Structure 1
């Protein structure tokens, strides 16, 4: 069920209240799901029911995305702040050191939580932060173009395009290898989520200098990459393996940047295996 939770996060100007929206379902060990920039927690819908059979699943809208407001003044959308906010979220909803799975930006955040020993395992799907500068500029340029198109396309046109597989390809082929599989209502919702994301620019700005260069020791780590990822190319997975030598590097055949839609069964199995 969908819910919101508010909690205090320290800032140089004193504690500030952060409010996040999340959905929780299932039973078992807790599993926190983190989406990518410009997306929302519904990105995980294709796999949630599979994960909930074995896990207490908490899918969260990151600050400034989906139904979660942007961070208040005095808080930057950077990695230390997000670590603090997600740690406080776990405490507020009554979970301690959950497993965590993240995609893109969410994968980077998951690895940061693992590096800080705030979680018990990490599964990162095409995580950000393992790029060269040229690859980062390319990815950021694509994201900015996607955002501009989403904001400029009238809603009736988005709805009309979403009714056909060809139209869904036009709208979402950058992130999905199999966009025709995405339900029309989901395509409309995620296009609106991208257009209306109040945290988009600040989050992108905070990522300009981000490189993940530290090992994540002491916990199981899985890094998985879609073979058809057109946003963060799969050679970045090799770099991730070099930086986190004990990580399990998994190939996701036929999957794009957001693989949960392209092969739900495979992605769910990778996450559950990584959290066992």
Structure 2
């Protein structure tokens, strides 16, 4: 049985939300509640992040194992090929499900796996300092979470509007990144990723036009490599667009799902 922790709300077709490296289910913010108006929404903590424990045998830290663990959760919850939505590394996992046919539709927000070797240094330059900064003494973390000007500095790489992150959320995310045993294994297994699959279900790849972690160059590669899927640019959004523009993220998800469940979506 899956040990993945999750939050669940709403009713209707099932939608599973998958966060990115170093984050937790709360990253979905208003998107979770907006989608729950019309769907059965499940936001997960990936293994080794948030409240989910590290993988235990036969599971491992590999990227394929992460996909299998998510699919195991679907089976445990009785979900028959849910719609899935993922951000960053979570987007990569969802695209893998699009190729495996284990999801009904896929919306991937700035998904991993479309970088070049040149990009790896920039990605590491952003990710690793963020992780190391969380080892600061608690009074320092609390100070940076409390003061809006400091939150803007520390979270600028993730958001166009870091001022929208609350003090409580900022501290919670810092402590999650500090304590998550999955961060270093996911960096190790994740950086060599190249997405080479071919989605067999309705799929959207949406990219923040101000993404500082995975730049819009990655979106260009995704367009060239996957011309058969729908591509969208998220205006004035960073790497984690769920905070910058939850309305637009929800709209993109609904539009993707509408390709499968048109009568249900058109009513909302």
2:153 matched to which residue of 1? 170
Choose between structure 1 and 2: higher strand proportion. 1
List runs of 5+ in structure 1 lacking aligned partners.
Answer: 1-6, 8-17
Alignment match of 2:126 (pick from 114, 120, 142): 142
Query: Residue 176 of structure 1 contacts residue 255 of structure 1 at CA under 8 Å; is this kept in 2?
Result: yes
Question: In structure 1, how many angstroms separate the alpha carbons of the residues matched to 2:226 and 2:11?
Answer: 30
Question: In structure 2, how many angstroms separate the alpha carbons of the residues matched to 1:142 and 1:117?
Answer: 33
Alignment match of 1:49 (pick from 33, 45, 60): 33
Indicate yes or no: 2:48 matched with 1:64: yes
Question: In structure 1, how many angstroms separate the alpha carbons of the residues matched to 2:225 and 2:12?
Answer: 31
2:227 matched to which residue of 1? 245
Indicate yes or no: 2:204 matched with 1:204: no
Indicate yes or no: 2:256 matched with 1:274: yes
1:10 matched to which residue of 2? none
| Secondary structure at 1:136 match in 2 | helix
Question: In structure 1, how many angstroms separate the alpha carbons of the residues matched to 2:58 and 2:16?
Answer: 26
Alignment match of 1:220 (pick from 185, 202, 214): 202
Query: Residue 96 of structure 2 contacts residue 197 of structure 2 at CA under 8 Å; is this kept in 1?
Result: no
| Secondary structure at 1:20 match in 2 | coil
1:101 matched to which residue of 2? 85
| Secondary structure at 1:33 match in 2 | strand
Per-residue CA deviations over 1:18-67 (Å, capped at 9, x if unaligned) read 51110000111000100000000000122111111111100000010000
Query: Residue 19 of structure 2 contacts residue 27 of structure 2 at CA under 8 Å; is this kept in 1?
Result: yes
Deviates more, 1:198-207 or 1:156-165: 156-165
| Secondary structure at 1:124 match in 2 | strand
Query: Residue 76 of structure 1 contacts residue 202 of structure 1 at CA under 8 Å; is this kept in 2?
Result: no
Indicate yes or no: 2:18 matched with 1:34: yes
Question: In structure 2, how many angstroms separate the alpha carbons of the residues matched to 1:78 and 1:54?
Answer: 34
Alignment match of 1:231 (pick from 198, 204, 213): 213
Query: Residue 77 of structure 1 contacts residue 206 of structure 1 at CA under 8 Å; is this kept in 2?
Result: yes
- Aligned Cα RMSD in Å? 1.2
1:111 matched to which residue of 2? 95
Choose between structure 1 and 2: higher helix proportion. 2
Alignment match of 1:191 (pick from 158, 170, 174): 174
| Secondary structure at 1:257 match in 2 | coil
Query: Residue 215 of structure 1 contacts residue 245 of structure 1 at CA under 8 Å; is this kept in 2?
Result: no
Question: In structure 1, how many angstroms separate the alpha carbons of the residues matched to 2:224 and 2:46?
Answer: 28
Aligned residues between the structures: 258
2:243 matched to which residue of 1? 261
Q: When the two structures are superposed, what TM-score results if normalisation uses the length of structure 1?
A: 0.90
Question: In structure 2, how many angstroms separate the alpha carbons of the residues matched to 1:67 and 1:171?
Answer: 23
